[in-house]
Amino acid sequence: MAITDLKYHLLLLVFILSAYICLRGLLYRRRNCSGIPYPPGPPPRFLIGNLLDVPKDRPHLAFAEWSRLYNSDIVSYHVPGSHTIIINSAKAAKVLFDQRSSIYSDKPHNEMVNIAGWDYNIAFMPYSDAWRAHRRIIHQHFRPDAVGDYYPLLISRNKTLLRDLHGQPDNLIELLKHHAGSLPLKLAYDYEVGMRGDPLIQKVEESMAVLAQIMIPGRFLVNSYPFLRRMPEWLPGVSGFKAYARNCNDLNESIKNDLFEQTKAAMASGAAPSSLLTKILRKNEKGELGEYVIKRSVAMIHIAAADTSMAALTGAMMALVNHPYVQSRAQAEIDVVIGRDRLPNFSDKDELPYISAICREVMRWRLVTPLAVDHAAAQDDVYDGYFIPKGIYTVHVSAYFHGKFWIFVPEIGSTVVGNAWAMLNDSEFYPEPERFNPERFITPEGELNDDEVLASFGFGRRICPGRYLANTTLWLGVASILSVFDIVKSKDEAGNEIEVTTEWVDSGISSRKNVSHPMPFECSVRPRDAKAVELVKSLNAREPDT
């Protein structure tokens, strides 16, 4: 390409960007012409808005602080391309996500999510027929009465975990991560994850690291200026994001397709072991559901379940090792209800309310997803005197240039974020919220109260459909480990106890969509007594029901 041509295209790009920014500015002001203010928040800076005001680390804390500072339970900030509204109270969440769910069930558009092949993630799908089709499959197989189908698998894997823990008492966290992280693939495809260096897990981790980057506000210009996707790759700044996205897209294609195709091939040869995928494919012999819907829904299970379940189970251990009193009370409950000759089972759940209270407190105290996943408003709305603009506001401008038609689509999008952390740490409902205190879920009569800490699983019609499986996995893990083991602090070489942190961090490179995990810590298990050793040694993982 001639130098003059290059200069011409660069000038054109600068012109388009400037036109965009001006048009956005105009639109932004025009929206304010409604006379209704946006929810309060830090004052935006010229061109970059509040880009510098949102901390990368634990933004849920800053957002909750803004509510105190600006005296409003909803607050907002603006970065080029989107306006973000943060919902900090359970009251506002109920009105917006539940009572006005037809408005707030949509999801914001993120151009890089699509380019990088992450659009199969149901949590990012717009509120549409496609989303309904995917959600229906997940719901059918993970609603409360369907979760019972997975009890035998959960119980037998739990027994394996206890036996492994007995053999490697200092390897608690690694074994738990493997236990929780491998379950979704076993359940979905009957795929057994290797303890270390599993190629599929590596692909998922790589792809998720890219996703974490994609979700950082302002990280990719194409999210603010989607037309850049159509620009030739030789333009400065375009080839970088395209190559990055292409690599991630290849990973996602492999994650979606490889196990799916292997299972289909095994089914054709009559050698496929039973799994959720074989069950769904057999039920769909007449082809009512498109194959791609099945493929994407089943692939989603691992993405949604593995990291979150690992965080919850290891978070429970962090809480328990720091609170020996809670362990003793739980063990006393287990001993009275089921004795010492067998492990707790799902049929014991109603009689072990304190174990359930521990699990709820784990989900409240240090949230796995403090800011859930972003929603978007499907239409303009007003709450408590504040204006919430619709998710995507588009204006199409076309121009004829250098023998070509160009279409510019400037949009002002509003993202609506439920700050679950702020809601579940509200001292009006949870006195001394910093304290790990399962008793807060127990009534004076000794029963479980009706607070299921639902905000820890998101909001409205988009609330996590896997929450019953997640709660069941956590409950069984905590109940079985406590029935035979004490969770204790590890010791250093000099025999001193190693302190255990109570802090959580966003995993990977911090972004506000990340799953939070406990900071790395060490702890061990110790059999409660000779009776516990006897019970663990007698466990046979292949007998699911005892």
Closest CB 367 distance from ligand HEM, rounded Å: 8
Instruction: Give the separation between CA 379 and CA 392, rounded to whole angstroms.
Output: 9
List all residues 6 or more positions away from 184 whose beta carbon is below 8 Å from its beta carbon. 301, 302, 304, 305, 306, 309
Instruction: Give the separation between CA 295 and CA 137, rounded to whole angstroms.
Output: 11
Of 420 and 535, the one with the shorter C-beta distance to ligand HEM is 420
- Is 138 a binder of ligand HEM (CB under 6 A)? yes
Instruction: Give the separation between CA 224 and CA 78, rounded to whole angstroms.
Output: 12
- Is 122 a binder of ligand HEM (CB under 6 A)? yes
- Is 459 a binder of ligand HEM (CB under 6 A)? yes
Question: 172, 470, 487, 535: which one contacts ligand HEM (CB under 6 A)?
Answer: 470
Closest CB 164 distance from ligand HEM, rounded Å: 22
Phi, psi of 10 (to 5 degrees): -65, -45
Instruction: Give the separation between CA 282 and CA 224, rounded to whole angstroms.
Output: 43
Question: 462, 512, 513, 517: which one contacts ligand HEM (CB under 6 A)?
Answer: 462
Of 228 and 464, the one with the shorter C-beta distance to ligand HEM is 464
Query: Residue 487, by phi and psi: left (phi above 0), alpha (psi -120 to 50) or beta?
Result: beta
Give how far Cα 528 sits from Cα of 72, 314, 390, 419, 482, Å. Answer: 50, 20, 57, 40, 9
Closest CB 190 distance from ligand HEM, rounded Å: 16
Of 137 and 238, the one with the shorter C-beta distance to ligand HEM is 137
- Structure-token match 């998720």, residue found: 208
Closest CB 6 distance from ligand HEM, rounded Å: 44
Phi, psi of 418 (to 5 degrees): -90, 115
Print the binding letters for residues 335-364 with ligand HEM: x by CB under 6 A, - otherwise: ------------------------------
Closest CB 48 distance from ligand HEM, rounded Å: 28
410 close to 127: Cβ distance less than 8 angstroms: no
Closest CB 245 distance from ligand HEM, rounded Å: 22
Strand partners, 504: 518
Helix (H, G, I), strand (E, B) or coil at 405: strand
Stretch that binds ligand HEM, among 197-205, 236-244, 463-471, 520-528 (CB under 6 A): 463-471
Closest CB 458 distance from ligand HEM, rounded Å: 2
Closest CB 205 distance from ligand HEM, rounded Å: 17
How wide is the angle at C-alpha 211 spanned by C-alphas 209 and 217, nearest 5°?
Answer: 115
Q: What is the CA radius of gyration of the chain?
A: 25
Question: 19, 23, 51, 123: which one contacts ligand HEM (CB under 6 A)?
Answer: 123
- Structure-token match 């204790």, residue found: 488
Phi, psi of 230 (to 5 degrees): -85, -5
- Is 208 a binder of ligand HEM (CB under 6 A)? no
- Is 469 a binder of ligand HEM (CB under 6 A)? yes
Cβ count near 520 (within 10 Å): 9
322 close to 436: Cβ distance less than 8 angstroms: yes
Closest CB 154 distance from ligand HEM, rounded Å: 12
The response to whether 359 counts as a known ligand-binding position is no
- Is 308 a binder of ligand HEM (CB under 6 A)? yes
Give the alpha-carbon dihedral of 125, 127, 132, 138, to 10 degrees. 50
List all residues 6 or more positions away from 541 whose beta carbon is below 8 Å from its beta carbon. 156, 157, 159, 160, 163
Helix (H, G, I), strand (E, B) or coil at 60: helix
Of 389 and 458, the one with the shorter C-beta distance to ligand HEM is 458
Of 238 and 318, the one with the shorter C-beta distance to ligand HEM is 318
Closest CB 477 distance from ligand HEM, rounded Å: 11
- Is 466 a binder of ligand HEM (CB under 6 A)? yes
Which residue of this chain has its Cβ atom nearest to ligand HEM in the complex?
466
The 3-state secondary structure of 291-327, one letter per residue: HHHHHHHHHHHHHHHHHHHHHHHHHHHHHHHHCHHHH
- Is 59 a binder of ligand HEM (CB under 6 A)? no
Question: 54, 300, 321, 355: which one contacts ligand HEM (CB under 6 A)?
Answer: 300
Of 123 and 235, the one with the shorter C-beta distance to ligand HEM is 123
List all residues 6 or more positions away from 6 whose beta carbon is below 8 Å from its beta carbon. none
Of 44 and 184, the one with the shorter C-beta distance to ligand HEM is 184
- Is 315 a binder of ligand HEM (CB under 6 A)? no
- Is 305 a binder of ligand HEM (CB under 6 A)? yes
- Is 304 a binder of ligand HEM (CB under 6 A)? yes
Question: 312, 317, 392, 448: which one contacts ligand HEM (CB under 6 A)?
Answer: 312
Instruction: Give the separation between CA 82 and CA 80, rounded to whole angstroms.
Output: 6
Annotated binding site for heme: 464
* Contact residues: ligand HEM, CB under 6 A: 122-123, 135, 138, 142, 300-301, 304-305, 308-309, 312, 368-369, 372-373, 456-459, 462-466, 469-470
Residues of each annotated binding site: 464
